[in-house]
Amino acid sequence: MNKIFLSTVIGLTTLAFVNAAETQNQPEIGKPAPDFSLATGDGSQVSLKDFKGKWVVLYFYPKDFTSGCTMEAHNFQRDLAKYNEADAVVLGVSVDTAQSHKDFCAKEGLNFKLLADPDAKVSTEYGSVMDYKGSKLAARNTFIINPKGELAKVYTGVKPAEHSEQVLKDLAELKKS
């Protein structure tokens, strides 16, 4: 009986956790993407406006060094040449520190920029923040931003394993229109 009760509580907690992240209001497709300026692991600042004229894949993820986030980052890294061919830049955002990003990139061989959003301000602006045990984490959402700086596609509740392939496919379709 206790196992059934505990399973139900864990299931409901997980469901509430997922739904809280997915029911936030993301910026609207066709509208300008919220600008930002965040630190990278190398200490530089990156702003969305730095990429005007390029496609941007802006992905939010919960935490460096966790299994799902590592898988997602590896898949973006694996496909980085395809993103470059598509004239697209990949930017990852989490609430981790710039030092954590530097260590994560070094350990995992990542060659794209991870941006530190420790106060979750940008994550909140993109409707991609969730509360986990009293701490704010970035929710696993992705935004494709067109060369004019407008939102072209929004993904919520991303599944890390196949996400990069789906983004590349959708990016190719968006570029045709």
> 3-class DSSP state for residue 168?
helix
User: CB neighbours of 157 closer than 8 A, spacing ≥ 6?
Assistant: 18, 21, 22, 139, 140, 141
Q: How far apart are CA 161 and CA 147, in angstroms?
A: 27
Residues 73 and 63: beta-carbon distance below 8 Å: no
* Helical residues (DSSP H) of 113-159, grouped into ranges: 121-125
Catalytic residues, by residue number, are 69
Instruction: List strand residue ranges (DSSP E) for the chain, in order.
Output: 37-40, 45-47, 55-60, 88-94, 113-116, 129-132, 135-138, 142-145, 151-155
Report which of 29, 52, 20 is spatially closest to residue 142, judged by C-alpha positions.
29
